[in-house]
């Protein structure tokens, strides 16, 4: 096998090893970054929902205290306001979901589904857990969900949800007396859930991965071509010339050419050494011939 082919074989083997390691690391990093981006989006949505809840509770509800004595207004309920806000958002972004799911809600639309009930029960087992997240398949594709527990921390909540007897009559007229009662202080009764689609960030990560790998492959091919040109010009061509002359000299053809080099690198030193050796051989042969 020629020297240049051996060089290319070794270089390609090294590249393939480095390429595989780079692909593994880059894919992991890009996927992790994509998931971090999705989680940041989910947390931003959660904070927006909490801001709506706080605004409703501190600024909207006090303005309507008098009216609430005569008619129950769901719009003054923080959970209702946050849900309605995100329902408006979903008109343009249907894949993004916000829900305040409860095991025993007053409003039937807030009743937890099977998987949501599982999330609630996990929080009830570990009440100190501030949030949890995971991925699940939805009709619109894979989505990441972020969940935070809804815990009764204010006595004001129990004014409507402790027993039917103390609940406002206006609320009972709207929702009835079958659901949303029996809540207790510090009890986790539900979760705030945000669901964010993963398709777009993951697709961007995959596209970035493909672009990076193609760029690396292109850079390698360019480097390989340039290194082959340099190898041929600096090594192969010079070694080939020297080896041809040495081969002819070994067959007794002393007129094959001169071992000359203007370079002082290793090949140049070798060429000069072969020149001196040829000169010594010629002198020795002349002495043997009596010249």
pLDDT of residue 114: 93
Beta strands in 112-255 (DSSP E): 132-138, 141-151, 188-197
Task: Dump the DSSP string for 216-252.
Answer: HHHHHHHHHHHHHHHHIIIIIHHHHHHHHHHHHHHTT
pLDDT of residue 258: 72
pLDDT of residue 34: 94
Q: Are 196 and 42 in contact (CB under 8 A)?
A: yes
pLDDT of residue 291: 53
Residue 237 to residue 241: CA distance in whole angstroms: 6
Q: What's the pTM value of the predicted model, to 2 decimals?
A: 0.74
pLDDT of residue 290: 61
Contacts 24+ apart (CB under 8 A), 123-130: 123/147, 123/149, 123/188, 123/191, 124/188, 127/151, 127/186, 127/188
Mean pLDDT by 10 residues, the chain (291 residues): 79 91 94 93 93 91 84 88 91 90 91 93 92 90 93 83 85 86 90 93 94 94 88 77 76 69 73 75 71 53
């Amino acid at each position: 096998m020629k020297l240049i082919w051996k060089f290319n074989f070794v270089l390609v083997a090294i590249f393939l090893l480095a390429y595989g390691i780079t692909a593994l690391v880059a894919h992991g990093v890009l996927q992790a970054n994509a998931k971090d981006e999705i989680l940041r989006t989910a947390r931003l949505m959660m904070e927006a929902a909490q801001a709506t809840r706080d605004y409703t509770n501190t600024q909207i509800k006090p303005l309507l205290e008098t009216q609430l004595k005569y008619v129950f207004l769901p719009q003054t309920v923080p959970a209702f306001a946050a849900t309605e806000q995100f329902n408006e958002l979903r008109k343009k972004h249907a894949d993004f979901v916000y829900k305040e799911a409860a095991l025993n809600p007053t409003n039937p639309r807030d009743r937890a589904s099977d998987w949501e009930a599982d999330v609630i029960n996990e929080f009830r087992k570990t009440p100190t857990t501030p949030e949890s997240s995971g991925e699940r398949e939805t009709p619109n594709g894979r989505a990441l969900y972020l969940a935070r527990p809804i815990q009764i921390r204010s006595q004001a909540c129990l004014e409507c949800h402790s027993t039917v007897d103390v609940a406002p009559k206006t609320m009972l007229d709207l929702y009835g007396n079958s659901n949303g009662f029996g809540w207790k202080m510090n009890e986790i009764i539900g979760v705030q859930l945000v669901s964010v689609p993963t398709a777009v960030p993951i697709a961007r990560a995959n596209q970035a991965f493909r672009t990076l790998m193609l760029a690396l492959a292109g850079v390698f091919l360019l480097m390989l071509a340039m290194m082959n040109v340099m190898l041929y010009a600096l090594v192969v061509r010079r070694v080939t010339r020297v080896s041809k002359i040495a081969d002819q000299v070994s067959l007794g053809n002393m007129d094959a050419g001169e071992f000359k080099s203007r370079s002082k690198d290793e090949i140049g030193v070798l060429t000069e050494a072969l020149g001196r050796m040829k000169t010594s051989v010629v002198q020795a042969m002349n002495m043997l011939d009596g010249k």
